[in-house]
């Protein structure tokens, strides 16, 4: 393939230089006729629909819960924030089992 005769057009497509020259000169160029869609349909499973619904709900949620942040900041400042080490360890073990 001789790459010197090709150039990248807008949108990443390629055109031959002769086509570009003809278009610039106002000459018509023959192009392949557009093909119609074959009418193929995509059907989503109930799981996929459920995931889409969850994603939509999550997208509506705020990124940060400001009230929770302020509550935790206050507890830390007053030395009242208690860490439940047993719960954290249990959650880590539960998560590790999910990965296996």
What's the DSSP call for residue 61? S
Residue 85 lies in a domain: yes
Number of Cβ atoms within 10 Å of the Cβ of 20: 13
pLDDT of residue 8: 46
Residue 3 in domain: no
pLDDT for the residue numbered 25: 52
**Domain for residue 82, yes or no?**
yes
pLDDT reported for residue 36 = 61
Is there a domain that residue 97 lies in? yes
Residue 98 lies in a domain: yes
Is the CB of residue 23 less than 8 Å from the CB of residue 16? no
The total number of structural domains that make up the chain: 1
Answer yes or no: is 49 within a domain.
no
Listed in sequence order, the residues at least 6 apart from 13 whose beta carbon sits closer than 8 Å to its beta carbon are none
Residues 27 and 76: their CA atoms lie apart, in Å, by 75
Alpha carbon 43 to its chain's center: 20
- Quote the domain boundaries for residue 72: 63-100
Divide the 100 residues of the chain into consecutive groups of 10 and give the mean pLDDT of each group: 48 47 50 62 87 92 89 95 95 92
């Amino acid at each position: 393939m001789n790459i010197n005769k090709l150039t990248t057009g807008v949108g990443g497509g390629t055109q031959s230089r002769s086509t570009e020259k003809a278009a610039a000169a106002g000459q018509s160029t023959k192009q392949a006729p557009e093909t119609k869609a074959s009418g193929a349909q995509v059907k989503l499973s109930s799981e996929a629909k459920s995931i889409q619904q969850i994603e939509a709900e999550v997208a509506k949620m705020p990124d940060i819960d400001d009230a929770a942040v302020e509550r935790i900041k206050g507890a830390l400042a007053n030395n009242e924030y208690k860490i439940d080490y047993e719960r954290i360890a249990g959650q880590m073990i539960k998560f590790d089992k999910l990965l296996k």
